[in-house]
């Protein structure tokens, strides 16, 4: 998958860093344009998740209480409006479903 994503620091879609989403087994991995930036989300550790289809923002609630954010493709704002960005949304949704993670969507 060759999707561009943004990793915001908070639940606001502005700021943060950009990178590429990589599919490797059951992990959601993002490698930043700056090699110092890296994000890895294990769906087995996700308690619940929400997805805002307007701005493409995923908010993951991890079982240890941590909150992680990832912006993919949305209707109005997006990190990647290409078909690869939309495929990333489908892939993340399917991956979370296989781990029985409840996804709230807006």
pLDDT, tens only, 4-47: 999 998 888 778 999 999 877 889 999 999 999 999 999 999 99
Q: What is the pLDDT of residue 94?
A: 93
Q: Indicate if the alpha-carbon torsion angle 86, 88, 90, 93 is positive or negative.
A: negative
**Contact in structure between 74 and 5 (CB atoms under 8 Å):** no
**Residue 1 pLDDT > 70:** no
3 state DSSP class of 34: coil
Q: List, for residues 37-90, the tens digit of each pLDDT value.
A: 999 999 999 999 999 999 999 999 999 999 999 999 888 877 777 888 888 999
Residue whose token pair is 């561009």: 4
Q: What is the pTM of this model?
A: 0.91
Name the token pair of 39: 């994000």
């Amino acid at each position: 998958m060759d999707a561009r994503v943004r990793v915001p620091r908070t639940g606001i879609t502005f700021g943060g860093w950009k990178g590429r989403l990589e599919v490797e087994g059951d992990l959601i991995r993002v490698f930043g344009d700056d090699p110092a930036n890296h994000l890895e989300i294990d769906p087995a550790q996700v308690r619940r998740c929400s997805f805002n289809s307007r701005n493409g923002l995923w908010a993951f609630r991890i079982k240890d209480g941590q909150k992680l954010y990832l912006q993919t493709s949305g209707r109005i704002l997006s990190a990647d409006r290409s078909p690869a960005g939309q495929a990333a949304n489908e892939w993340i949704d399917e991956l979370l479903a296989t781990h029985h993670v409840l996804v709230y969507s807006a």
